[in-house]
Amino acid sequence: MSQSGVTLVIPTYNGARRVEAPLQALLAQQAPSDCFEVVVVDNNSTDGTSRVVEESPSVAALRQRGVEVRVVSETRQGLLFARLCGIQSARRDVVCFLDDDNVPEPNFVADGLVHFQDEHVGVVVSRLYPRYETPPPPSISRREHLLAINHRLGDAPIDFGAAATIAPTIGAGLWLRRAAFLDAVPWRTPEQLMPDRLGEQLLSGGDIEFGFLLGKAGHRRVYSPSLKVWHLIPRSRFETRYFLRLIVGVVRSEKTLEARYLGRKSAGVGRVKNWARLLGAGLASPALALRGDAVREILFVLASRWAQVQGPYSQLHEPRS
């Protein structure tokens, strides 16, 4: 039987140089030590991540305070499998995902748990801010939401409701009621779920799918701006080829979720419209160049339009039985 409180799950792949940041932030939490535990999921790392965590001074200090910290291994490669492993390893009523480059504010744990005093709440979305290694170019700054940043949702709480609707339940800093998740999500058959990263394709959407399924099962999903998390973003994320792949992966993943759950499939008139938008973007290139960071701006717009033409990932259209 699970205990009250929250399990902070940190999935990581080759995160030896990054994982100390969230661990240090959890050490600084203002919440009582008996209301949370930490599970680091080592997803086939080859850089000694597990050893680094075990030898971390933050982990030693957490354990000294009475906070349980465990490192578990998940040999199936991929973020979906790592998250599912974390949920199965959790011993608390609530689970919260943190990426290995996330730094939550000191009030994060205490304020997050307050939301789950309402038994109808199943999902809580945190507010994510960027902490850039270097300032991003304008073309990327305009698209920072693609980097798991959502602070522009605003200062007011948002209730996305309990319904079969797609909501921005971004995975970094995502809180879930564990029992609700285990009932609503087919975790025993992960082949039915969005795989997130798949080979070289920057797939996404697994976190949005979790939120959809919990909403469909009747659990409220809320955005809480008081739950502030900093996302540490290295300069390497600004590399043009990477960002082009990211745009295509995000757009096609969104189309896949819409096709799978909302019946929105790119065919007929819709496909013609997407081709028209791609052509229009090409013709509008001179105007796009006026925005600054001209070459990338044009490439990014064209990549988005091309991804819409390509549409959903065909092999992921429907949940597999």
Report yes or no: 146 and 139 within 8 Å, Cβ to Cβ.
no
Q: What is the pLDDT of residues 231-241, one digit of tens each?
A: 999 999 999 99
Q: What is the pLDDT of residues 10-28, one digit of tens each?
A: 999 999 999 999 999 999 9
pLDDT value for 283 = 47
Q: What is the pLDDT of residues 300-310, one digit of tens each?
A: 988 999 899 88
Query: Cα separation of 101 and 15, whole Å?
Result: 9
Report yes or no: 174 and 207 within 8 Å, Cβ to Cβ.
yes
pLDDT value for 267 = 57
pLDDT value for 281 = 54
Q: Residue ranges per domain, the chain? A: 3-238, 242-316
* Class in CATH terms, 3-238: alpha beta
127: which 2 tokens?
A: 């507010």
pLDDT value for 321 = 42
Map residue 68 onto helix, strand or coil. Answer: coil
Report yes or no: 74 and 44 within 8 Å, Cβ to Cβ.
yes
Query: Cα separation of 280 and 157, whole Å?
Result: 37
User: Which residues, at least 6 apart from 255, have a Cβ–Cβ distance to it below 8 Å?
Assistant: 264, 266, 307, 308, 311, 312
Q: What is the pLDDT of residues 183-233, one digit of tens each?
A: 999 999 999 999 887 555 678 899 999 999 999 999 999 999 999 999 999
CB count within 10 Å of CB 276 equals: 12
For strand 121-132 and strand 36-42, is the pairing parallel, antiparallel, or unpaired? unpaired
Half-sphere exposure of 24 toward its Cβ, with a 13 Å CA cutoff? 10
pLDDT value for 264 = 72
Listed residue (81, 101, 50, 70) closest to 8, CA to CA:
70
Report yes or no: 92 and 60 within 8 Å, Cβ to Cβ.
no
Map residue 83 onto helix, strand or coil. Answer: helix
317: which 2 tokens?
A: 């259209």
Query: Cα separation of 262 and 96, whole Å?
Result: 27
Residues of the chain with pLDDT under 50: 283, 320-321
CB count within 10 Å of CB 149 equals: 18
